[in-house]
Structure 1
Amino acid sequence: MAAVSRAQADDESGKPPMRLPISSGNVPTTISSQSNENVNITGCDDEDRSSAAEDLTVQIMVSEEDGYALNDIRESATGTSTYLHSVTNGTDKGHRVGPATKKLCDDILAKSRHRDGSIYSDVDLLWWKKEYRIADRNESRLEAMSLSDPTDCVVRDGTCMTHDPFSMLQFYSVELAEIPVDGGLVELYGYIAVRDDIDSLLNYVINISRDDPIVVEEGSLINMTGPKRGIDMADSVLIEHDMRIKAGEEEKDDIQLIDGASLIAHEGKWDQPFTFRIPGDGGAVDIILSCLLYAVEATVEVLISEVQSSFNLSVGCLSSGFNEEIRLFDGAVAESCSLKRSVVAVLKNSSIDLKFKVAALSSSSDHQHCCSFKAKTHGHDNQEIKNDFVIISVKLTWSTLPGSFSG
């Protein structure tokens, strides 16, 4: 008889091993697979494994009282990772098992909504609310570049043996995928933030105030203002979100776009981008992410000086050999300034490429420049770009993530 095992929650904390949120409640959810791919069959030999998988049904018990949705993983006979997507807010529904090539999870955790206040309830009862300190609304106190110039390195053959690359999560883009307005512009505000194991306080990726909303339409990219530091992916990461469409004079009149929190577990496809959809009552947001197995933190700082005349500037970033571009800046520059600092995760033994497009305001053509930097554990790199408009100074600071933070 075919069987699929699952981890049990720790009796004392209610938290599953490795923080895989698997419930032991009393509402059954059936997850069925109709193919013999991406399923690990135990208790039968190789000849029986294929036929046994054809009619495999996995019974998983999930209850809303547990306050989290399942994000379980299986290893198939071919070694392909598979996620079982489960219930949202305790709703019983079936899911087909499929390969984790595009999305790890698109479920919203139960009791995680901001608008009705449920995210602030039961903070001492639900493991993810305790672990990620949901009641603390402060921003992460850990800054980037914390180990850019350490004094305790043991160097062997030019390599630091003390500070290792970390598993990290990288955001490439955030897109307004669906809105309730057809073909129209909307005023959008709110935030998307992550909480990780190093410092579970809010590390904002997007943070837009209601007093200064952005004007976007369906399909628009939303400029990322963060993260302020690298995101640890050695274990689960919680993505917290509350974004709204401004619709009236008062906040109560606004349309809720997305609201809640979702978990990304550290099992699954590594070192390749995937799309993570956050569904909501008033639309959806698509985030392109990647989980990088061995990565370092690159902090990008750009100084604009000797500006001869106003110009348009676009700064894009390609990292770790992927084709997904990270938009660091896109706008007009009129005087000397520093662009916002950007933090990018870069796979070890790879590189980061910065692409600059400079164009006069009255011109449709642009001048393109590229700066490339090979990843390293610590230290700084500098490059300078000169043209008829401006001097652009680029500084990259390399760091690993700290193993812990007590701030």
Structure 2
Amino acid sequence: MATTSRTKGKKELAKPIDNGEGEVRRASVVHDGGKKHARKNVVLLCGEGPPSELSDDDEEFARLEAAAYRDYDCNYPAEDVDPMDIFPYSTHRDGSIYRGEYSWKKDYRVAERNETWIEAMMLSDPKDCMFHNGTCWMHSPWPMLQIFSLKLAKIPMDADSVELYGYIATRDVLDPLLNYIVNVSRNDPIIIKQGSLIEMTGPKRGIELCDTTLIEYDMRIKTGEQEKDDLQLIDGASIVDDRSTATKCLFTKRIHGDCGAVDITVSRLDVAVEATIEVHISEVRSTFNLCVGCFTSGLDQEIQLFDGAIGESRGLRRSVVATVIDTWMDLKFKVGSGPYSNRDTEHCYSFKAINHGWTSQLIKTEFASILVKVTWSTLSMSNM
């Protein structure tokens, strides 16, 4: 079992750089015998009941939906994870998601396939701030949805691993166009085993959650040369709302499909801001393994931002995480020489959530220099 060495946190190993607006605190931790990073226990509550119906003016749709949910409950009996409700007439493979005049399809413009035009960090340095007691009240925190993990819960029984492709995305009131959480091409599928995490490459910007947010998905298992022969993992659309979820509490739902299931773990975070995390590695002296994890808003589940080998100077993919204002976002950098190394070192830094601004931290390791920059922004609500 791998053990980790303790870093001293000397000034020459980690030099904070910021614009005078952010706060950062540093810590070094030890992993002993593979035990989890010690953190304060948090009581977690689960969202209860199905999401509220978006179409309350269509009795026929309501009747069909209720029947579909009854059939759904019969097909997927009680398990360790509650099933996520899936809208009827929301599948992509047969095109039913694009047909019909149901209000949720109109509200979230599901026929439009473009990616959201809104970028992250749009209000990281606004020029029209108005302050009271040192806090900007012109650009306020907002209820947000944070997706913590996606796990491949079930695959066909005769498969050890599968080639997975497709997408999972959100649509919110801020901008109903697709905000991808996962988007994998069939030409470059990911090879993954049952029980493994699905790497999240998004979101592109923070996910708004005031009333309801739609989660849309079409994930498939590649089986051969022709797409028509591929197996459907999950296909449809669901919603998360702010009435059946408790703020700052994690809950997990299982999205069932024809040939498997995906577990999604999320939390509603009220009065939250958007943290954009950028990591750049330089002065690489030898190939090493890097794992970057994130804890947000006092919750004890880690969001995996990166896990892979670094062999040359490069920037990592930008990550966007929701954080409750005035709480701490913790970033954990685990550095080691390889998967069988017995001396992995962790560097932990905490960044306090503010309305606007940025903070940087330079980490010096035996393998390379790691510069992390966290940029804070409220959501741009001007188009609502």
Using the size of structure 1 for normalisation, the TM-score is: 0.76
Contact 2:329 2:351 in 1 (8 A): yes
How far apart are residue 276 of structure 1 and its match? 2.0
> Which structure has the larger Rg over C-alpha atoms?
1
Q: 1:307 to 1:248 in 2, by over 3 A?
A: same
1:176 alignment partner in structure 2:
152
- Residue 314 (structure 2) pairs with residue 334 (structure 1): no
- Residue 203 (structure 2) pairs with residue 265 (structure 1): no
For residues 161 and 296 of structure 1, what CA distance do their matches in structure 2 show?
13
Among 124, 129, 136, which residue is 1:153 paired with?
A: 129
1:397 alignment partner in structure 2:
375
Contact 1:169 1:290 in 2 (8 A): yes
Among 63, 68, 73, which residue is 1:88 paired with?
A: 68
Instruction: Name the SS of the counterpart of 1:292 in structure 2.
Output: strand
Computed over aligned residues only, the root mean square deviation of the Cα atoms, in angstroms, reads: 2.2
How far apart are residue 25 of structure 1 and its match? 2.3
Contact 1:87 1:93 in 2 (8 A): no
> Deviations for 1:146-204, whole angstroms, at most 9, x for unmatched residues?
10001111112110011111000000000001111346111111100000001100000
Of stretches 325-334 and 264-273 in structure 1, the one that deviates more from structure 2 is 264-273
How far apart are residue 270 of structure 1 and its match? 1.8
> Deviations for 1:263-306, whole angstroms, at most 9, x for unmatched residues?
11221222111002211111110011001111000000001000
Instruction: Name the SS of the counterpart of 1:345 in structure 2.
Output: strand
- Residue 59 (structure 2) pairs with residue 25 (structure 1): yes
Contact 2:248 2:299 in 1 (8 A): no
Among 227, 244, 260, which residue is 1:251 paired with?
A: 227
2:93 alignment partner in structure 1:
115
Structure with the larger RCO, 1 or 2 (CA within 8 Å, 6+ apart): 2
The alignment of Structure 1 onto Structure 2 pairs a total of residues equal to 327
Q: 1:297 to 1:351 in 2, by over 3 A?
A: same
Among 166, 183, 187, which residue is 1:211 paired with?
A: 187
Q: 1:112 to 1:92 in 2, by over 3 A?
A: closer
> Deviations for 1:43-72, whole angstroms, at most 9, x for unmatched residues?
xxxxxxxxxxxxxxxxxxx323xxxx4xxx
Among 231, 250, 253, which residue is 1:276 paired with?
A: 253
Instruction: Name the SS of the counterpart of 1:88 in structure 2.
Output: helix
How far apart are residue 141 of structure 1 and its match? 0.5
How far apart are residue 260 of structure 1 and its match? 0.6
Q: 1:291 to 1:21 in 2, by over 3 A?
A: farther
Consecutive unaligned residues of structure 2, counting only runs of 5 or more, are: 1-51, 75-80
For residues 197 and 98 of structure 2, what CA distance do their matches in structure 1 show?
30
How far apart are residue 91 of structure 1 and its match? 4.7
How far apart are residue 119 of structure 1 and its match? 0.8
How far apart are residue 93 of structure 1 and its match? 6.6
1:314 alignment partner in structure 2:
291
Contact 1:236 1:266 in 2 (8 A): yes
- Residue 142 (structure 2) pairs with residue 166 (structure 1): yes
Q: 1:126 to 1:360 in 2, by over 3 A?
A: same
Using the size of structure 2 for normalisation, the TM-score is: 0.81
Give the letter for the 2:97 counterpart.
Answer: I
- Over the matched positions of the two proteins, sequence identity in percent amounts to 54
For residues 286 and 261 of structure 1, what CA distance do their matches in structure 2 show?
14
Consecutive unaligned residues of structure 1, counting only runs of 5 or more, are: 1-17, 28-61, 70-85, 95-101
Contact 1:20 1:265 in 2 (8 A): no
